[in-house]
Each structure stands twice: as C-alpha cells, then as structure tokens.
Amino acid sequence: MVAGAYGDAMGLRIGALVVDSHDPGRLARFWAEALGWVISRDEDPEWVVEPAEGSREDCVVADLLFIKVPEPKAGKNRLHFDLRPEHQSAEVARLEGLGATRVDVGQGDEQAWVVMADPEGNEFCVQDAHSPQVRAEWLRRYGAYEPVFPGHAKPGDRVAAQPGRSPFQRQRRSVQSSVFDGLRVDDLCS
C-alpha cells in the first residue's frame, strides 16, 4: 500500500462534521463550551469548533463546522453525538445550564443514557459513566497516546507547522471557551 499524506495507508481523514444551522454562532458557542473546545472561525456563514491546540484530540477528532442555512431543522437527526462524562447527572445539569434540553425520541424510560438537544434541536446522548474497569482502560490508552507519524505535535508542544491538520482547522483566534475535561466524545465503544 502507498502511504497517504497523513502517514497512514488511506490518506483520507474526516476533516469536519458539518451541522446545518439557523444561527451557527449560537451553536458554535454552545458546543465549544460543552466540549471545552475552541472556536477557530467565527464569521457567518461558517463557524468552526475544534479541539484545543496541543490536546490529544487536536488533529485526531473531526472539527465541528456550523453552516448557516435558511431552512429549519426537520425531523430526528440521522447522525448524533454520544458523549461519555464521568458524572452523567452533573453533566446533564451543566448542559441544561448551557441551553440544552431533554428530549424524547422514543428511547423509553429504562435507558442508561439521556437524550438531549442543543439550542437548535439537534439531538445528542449523554451516556452513563463507564464502569471503573473500562474507565481505567480508557485512561491507560488515553494517557499512552503517541502520534504515529514524525513531526506531529504532542500535547503541550509549540510548533510552527502542524502536519496533518485538516483544511477546516484554520488559524486559531483569541475566542476560546473554558476547558472542561469531564465531558468527551466517547473514545471507546459502548
């Protein structure tokens, strides 16, 4: 196989998950605060939210690109985020404080997850915490993460060039949310 530009066999990466929105700035601010990420582009019609530079998620997790569209959201999402916090009830309350609401999409009352919607009605789930054994394994893997190709910035490194950055990851601006490490996009399968 021929190695791609990112040092792997495929040479293909998901650069961003694109979310149509009526008010992209409002959603970008919500998701930046919810995930502890940064807003790297803040001009209509496109706002970009991405992991903080130098974090383990930087250049690994796809950016969120909010695009202004004229039509309202219609129906249930075909794709949604599953978030895995350390403390589900505390995170649900915090997300409600940011503007999220609990929603019923037919999940029933016996589920371990809580279905919520962001300020424009895009559904997402807040999972229950991992068991202590699974959490310990997740932390071991997370703590042991090392980039797989030379020249990639490690957490805390300051470098001029960032190999592997997606085209959606633009020059950082001064707009930044507070970092909250308790809520992460789930890195381990449920």
Q: How many domains does the chain have?
A: 2
Task: Answer yes or no: do 90 and 120 share one domain.
Answer: yes
Nearest in space to 36 (alpha carbons), one of 56, 14, 12:
56
Per the CB < 8 A criterion, the answer to whether 85 and 126 are in contact is: yes
What CATH number did the domain enclosing 23 receive? 3.10.180.10
Per the CB < 8 A criterion, the answer to whether 21 and 69 are in contact is: yes
Q: What is the pLDDT along the chain (190 residues), one digit of tens a residue?
A: 555 555 556 678 888 999 999 999 999 999 999 999 999 999 999 999 999 988 878 888 899 999 999 998 988 888 999 998 989 999 999 999 999 999 988 888 888 899 999 999 999 999 988 788 887 887 788 777 665 444 544 443 333 333 444 333 333 333 333 333 344 333 332 3
Length, in residues, of the chain: 190
Per the CB < 8 A criterion, the answer to whether 115 and 104 are in contact is: yes
User: d(Cα 49, Cα 111) in Å, to the nearest integer?
Assistant: 30
Residue 82: which domain range?
A: 74-148
Task: Answer yes or no: do 81 and 23 share one domain.
Answer: no
Per the CB < 8 A criterion, the answer to whether 36 and 14 are in contact is: no
Task: Answer yes or no: do 34 and 66 share one domain.
Answer: yes
